[in-house]
Structure formats: C-alpha cells, structure tokens
C-alpha cells in the first residue's frame, strides 16, 4: 500500500477517535522544502466542520499519529498545514517489504475484468514505415505496456491499409518499370522496394500532367486525365472485382511489404496480438448503418445517402454511406470496432493511437458508437499526438521527402557509436558486445526522447541531443543503471541480510530515494489513467537524479558500519530494478555494463 494511502487511513482513524467524525477525503501533498517534514496534511477543509483553529487541530492530529502509529516520528504545524515527519522504521520496513518483489509496482492483470485493445502503427502497404510511424508505434506499445502493468488485460493490434488507389499506384508502376525484380534480386527490404515504385509512379504521373498541360488542358483536367492515373483506377476496379492476375500481384507485393514491416517492428521492439487488414474490413459497417436507420440514429437524404446529425453535440452532419451505397472511412471504423468486440468478447474499451489531424474523426466515431447503444463505447480513447520534426538537413530519406524509420534507427546507432567511442569507456568489450551496447543506447535515446514529451506536443527531434550522457536523456538513465550493476558486482559480501530499524539511522538522501521508489505503483496507475508514457519517463529521470545525488553524498561500499553498507547496497539494487521496470514500460532496454 502506498504511503499516502496508509497515512490517509491513520488520519481517518485519528479523526474518528478524537472527534467522532468520518472523513472520506484527506488532502495530502509533499512538504515544501523550507519546512521539516515528508508529507503535509491540508487542514483547511476540516476547520468549518470541527469549529477549530488550525494550530489546535493540527497539534491534536499530530500527537495522535506520533503516539498511536509507527509511521509518524514527529510533526509541526504551519498556518493551516500539518507537516509530518515519517519515521526511519517505516522506510526501512518499506525496503524490507519490497526488496524481494520482482514486479514491484505492477498489478497482475485480472482474469475476470474487461480487456482493452490498443491500436497503433496502421501503416499503408505502398511504402516503408517513416518517422511519424515511429512516434505512433512507440506511444501505442508503451501505453499497452503501462495499461498491462496497471492490471488491465491488453490486446495489441494494428489495421494495415492494404487496399485502395495508393496501393494500386505501386503495383502499376512495378508492372510497368519493375522488370520482374524482387527484394532478393534488388538486395533491399520488400517495403522499401514497393515504396520505390510508389515514387516511380509519382514521377511518371507528374511528367504526364506536365505534358497534358502543354496541350492546353488546365492543371485540374490534366491531373484527372493522366493515362497512368486512369490505369491505376482501372486496376483498383479489377482488384475489387477479384481479377485473378491483379489479386496475385497484390498478394505478392503485399507479402514483400509485410516481411519488411516485421523486420522494422522487431528492430524497434514492438509486437502485435492481432492484425486487421483493410481489404477484409472495408465492407464492414454497412449492415450497422441499416440497423441505425431503423433505430433512428441515422437518416437518409433524397439522393439515397445516409447521414447522422450531430449538431446538438456541437459537431456537424456526417456522411456514413454514399448515395451509390459505398462506405466512407467512418463506416469502416464503426464496423471494425464492432468486429473487434466479436473477435475478443472480453474487450471493454479501445485506445486508438492516431495523429492529431484525426481528432474530429474520433469525436464523431465515438459519439456514433455511443448512439448505437454499445456499452463499451464509453471506454474509447483517442491517443492523439503531434508531429515529429527533424532539424533541416538531417537524416533525409533516399526519396528526399520523408524520414525512413529504418534509416532513423540506423542513424541513431551510428550516433550512439560515435559518442560512446569519444567517451572511451569500453575497454575489454568484444566487437559483438559493443554492437549490442550501441544498439541499446541508440534505440534507448530515440525512444526516451520521444516518450518523455506529452503526446499532444509537437517534437523537434535532435539526434545529437538525445544521445547526450547527461541531462534528461535515455543514455543518462541507462548509464546510472549500469553504474548500479557495477556497484553490485563489486559488493563482495552477503547483502541479503535483513536490516531492522534498530540497526541503522537513515541519511536524508536515503529517505528521499525510498520516498520516490514508494511512488512507483501510483505513477503506473496515473500513467495508465492518463495514457501517458511521459509520466513514467519523467518519474524515472527524477529517481535517477535523486540516486546520483545520494551516490555523491553518501558512501555506499565505503561505509564504515557493515549494516549501513548492506542497507545502501540493498537500496541501490532496488533503484536499479525500478529503473529497469520503468524502462520496460517504455520499451527501452538497459545495459549491464557501459
């Protein structure tokens, strides 16, 4: 149980014993640095009810806590605030309780409760994953990890956009210019090969548009009449009609892309429990629209198109089915959400990791699903995020337009290699050990830099800055973890011995560290509630800063009293375990040596 919960319970006990009243909410906060104390109780909410002055009320509660509990050592009252000093005995007992807890802070997922499905990635099969996808997958995967650590059953999923005109553009360009090459013969990943032909289509299309404009057509007319675009549209019609040759080509090229995606996902360290494909879901939702018409949720216009009126909710009228009976994106999304609950009946909520340009779309989607009467629609969340920018001129992709995810990861490892070698701390490492370490540092730097920022904020990603070994960075935290592991290797004595409150007197820095460690379970729950990896990242940074301050102020292996030495090694070990656990929630690895 967290310190705040224990203290709340003891204060409630004191109020019942002293004044015969039951108070459900006790307001606690960290004691301000200029006053003595660890936790402060705000007295003002009780003054009216008890018709007492702050000094008298605070003193009575403080005296009760010090006399009747082991948690409070002493207290002081300043204005309407009761500052409570927590006893050494509590902190020592806390470490004894949690030091052997392998998954301290994590809640075991309930087998009976409702699950949550987290969607992220959702790429198109006409090009490789890019920088925008990197923020998406890191956020989605981390939120899934955090929700699971908070005690929820989680399914991780993606919707792969594998149909439509953009897919046919790559296919047509490959048919025209590919000369039968494959990822193997070209020596590149399948997703990059298909992306190359998407770019080739665009080049040919632009050239044809220019030629048509030279024949006195307007730009708009030229864009519509370009022969290569009309061929792509015809290919899409054939695909939808099930043309064998087109479907075979589509399956072959998509197969290349999936293999490429899998490699990228493996390298970045994310996975999925279930893939959905737009080629299977694009017809979903039409039957739901029919049901919604009968329920009066939707209405039909004279041209036969179907709409929903959301003006009463401050939105607008939204098309859900065209007059020719074809669906729009929102129709598919309605159908896909319902299909997911059919596939996984224990799903009671969903998280959609999608950029902030789709904010309005998800407001509409969630509202429609509520109006259709689905109980789980109350638990839908759009994990909206801003763009990621790079300083100009850095890490341009081969196409010169977007930053390729694989190139970005490679560049991060190169940057980590250069900076690590400049620091020169890797004597005795084999070539393989170094390569592994650079990979952990480079990807850790990338992930931490992106996840420490509130998702809604736009990020300017600076590779050099992210691999700094000082400040609020992944490598700084990884280095502290490695330093702790080094300390544990040098501790040539049995540090598993139980230490009691009579054995040691705690240094202020030890108490501060234990206070932060004790917050970990609450931080996980708060991060889950707010879908915020940034809370985990910034908690870890605060813990590491405090540990480094402790390490500078207090001698660990050089302590003169053996029991103090043992306690400090146990404390260091728990800090290391907490760093590792917190970083696992961000999908970041930690090196044993650095």
Check if the beta carbon of residue 147 is closer than 8 Å to that of residue 109: no
Mean pLDDT of 239-258: 97
Mean pLDDT of 31-36: 92
pLDDT of 48: 85
Residue found under tokens 């760093």:
579
Q: What angle do CA 478, 591, 450 make, to 5 degrees?
A: 45
- CB neighbour class for 51 (10 Å; exposed up to 12, middle 13-18, buried from 19): exposed
Among the residues of 398-473, which ranges form H helices?
405-423, 431-451, 463-466
The confidence band for 215, taking pLDDT boundaries of 50, 70 and 90, is confident
| Selection from 380, 381, 409, 374 nearest residue 395 by Cα | 409
Strand partners, 75: 84
User: Is the pLDDT score of 397 beyond 60?
Assistant: no
pLDDT of 1: 67
pLDDT of 462: 86
pLDDT of 253: 97
Can you say how many angstroms the Cα of residue 46 is from the centroid of all Cα atoms in its chain? 40
Strand partners, 225: none
User: Residue 50 corresponds to which tokens in the numbers above?
Assistant: 């008890």
Q: Which of 203-212, 416-425, 580-589 has the lowest mean pLDDT?
A: 416-425
- Residue range 3-86, CATH number: 3.30.1360.70
- Which pLDDT tens digit goes with each residue over 87-103? 999 999 999 999 999 89
- Which pLDDT tens digit goes with each residue over 54-66? 999 999 999 999 9
User: Is the pLDDT score of 257 beyond 60?
Assistant: yes
pLDDT of 398: 39
User: Is the pLDDT score of 444 beyond 50?
Assistant: yes
The confidence band for 125, taking pLDDT boundaries of 50, 70 and 90, is very high
Q: Which of 152-156, 206-210, 213-217 has the lowest mean pLDDT?
A: 213-217
Mean pLDDT of 158-175: 96
pLDDT of 401: 61
pLDDT of 399: 45
pLDDT of 395: 43
Check if the beta carbon of residue 101 is closer than 8 Å to that of residue 95: no
Mean pLDDT of 551-576: 96
% pLDDT > 70, the chain: 98
Mean pLDDT of 418-443: 87
Domain boundaries, the chain: 3-86, 164-256
Q: Given the DSSP bridges, would you call strands 115-119 and 153-160 parallel, antiparallel or unpaired?
A: parallel
Mean pLDDT of the chain: 93
Mean pLDDT of 24-32: 93
The confidence band for 402, taking pLDDT boundaries of 50, 70 and 90, is confident
pLDDT of 426: 74
User: Is the pLDDT score of 396 beyond 50?
Assistant: no
pLDDT of 421: 83
User: Is the pLDDT score of 569 beyond 70?
Assistant: yes
Distance between start and end Cα atoms, the chain: 35
């Amino acid at each position: 149980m967290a310190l705040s919960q224990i203290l709340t319970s003891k204060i409630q006990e004191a109020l019942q014993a002293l004044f015969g009243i039951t108070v459900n909410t006790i307001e606690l906060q960290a004691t301000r640095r200029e006053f003595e104390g660890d936790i402060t109780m705000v007295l003002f909410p009780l003054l009216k009810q008890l018709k007492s002055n702050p000094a008298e009320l605070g003193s009575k509660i403080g005296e009760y806590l010090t006399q009747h509990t082991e948690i409070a050592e002493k207290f002081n009252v300043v204005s309407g605030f009761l500052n409570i000093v927590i006893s050494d005995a509590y902190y020592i007992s806390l470490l004894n309780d949690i030091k052997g807890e392998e998954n301290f802070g994590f809640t075991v997922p309930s087998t009976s409760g409702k699950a949550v499905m987290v969607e992220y990635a959702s790429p198109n099969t006409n090009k490789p994953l890019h920088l925008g996808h990197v923020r998406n997958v890191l956020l989605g995967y981390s939120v899934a990890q955090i929700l699971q650590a908070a005690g929820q059953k989680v399914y991780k999923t993606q919707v792969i956009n594998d149909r439509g005109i953009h897919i046919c553009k790559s296919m047509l360009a490959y048919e025209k210019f590919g000369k039968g090459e494959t990822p193997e013969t070209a020596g590149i990943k399948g997703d990059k090969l298909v992306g190359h032909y998407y770019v080739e289509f665009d080049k040919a299309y632009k050239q044809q548009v220019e030629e048509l404009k030279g024949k006195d057509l307007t730009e708009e007319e030229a864009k519509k009449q370009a022969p290569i675009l009309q061929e792509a549209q015809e290919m899409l019609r054939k695909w939808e009609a099930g043309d064998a040759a087109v479907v075979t080509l589509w399956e072959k090229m998509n197969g290349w892309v999936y293999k490429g995606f899998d490699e990228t996902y493996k390298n970045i360290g994310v996975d999925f429990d279930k893939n959905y494909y737009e080629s299977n879901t694009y017809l979903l939702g039409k039957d739901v629209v029919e049901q919604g018409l009968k329920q009066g949720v939707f209405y039909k216009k004279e041209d036969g198109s179907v709409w929903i009126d959301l003006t009463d909710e401050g939105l607008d009228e939204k098309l859900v089915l065209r007059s020719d009976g074809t669906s729009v994106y929102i129709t598919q999304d309605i159908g896909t959400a319902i299909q997911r609950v059919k596939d996984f009946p224990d799903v009671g909520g969903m998280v959609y990791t999608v950029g902030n340009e789709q904010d309005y779309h998800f407001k509409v989607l969630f509202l429609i699903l509520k109006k259709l009467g689905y109980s789980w629609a109350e638990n839908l969340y759009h994990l909206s995020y801003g763009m990621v920018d790079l300083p100009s001129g850095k890490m341009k992709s081969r196409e010169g337009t977007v930053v390729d995810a694989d190139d970005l990861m490679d560049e991060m490892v190169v940057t980590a290699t250069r900076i690590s070698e400049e620091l020169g701390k890797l004597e005795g490492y084999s070539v393989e050990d170094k390569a592994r370490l650079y990979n952990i540092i480079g990807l850790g730097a990338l992930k931490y830099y992106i996840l420490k920022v509130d998702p809604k904020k736009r990020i300017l990603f600076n590779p050099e800055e992210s691999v700094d070994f000082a400040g609020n960075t992944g490598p700084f935290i990884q280095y502290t973890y490695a330093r702790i592991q080094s300390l544990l290797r040098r501790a040539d004595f049995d540090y598993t011995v139980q230490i009691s409150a009579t054995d040691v007197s705690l240094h202020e820095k030890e108490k501060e560290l234990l206070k932060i460690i004790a917050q970990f379970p609450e931080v996980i729950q708060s991060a889950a509630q707010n879908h915020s990896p940034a809370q985990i990242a910034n908690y870890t940074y605060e813990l590491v800063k405090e540990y480094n301050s402790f390490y500078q102020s207090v001698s660990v292996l050089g302590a003169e009293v053996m029991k103090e030495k043992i306690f400090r090694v146990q404390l260091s070990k728990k800090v290391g375990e907490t760093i590792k656990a917190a970083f696992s929630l961000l999908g970041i690895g930690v090196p044993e040596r650095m």
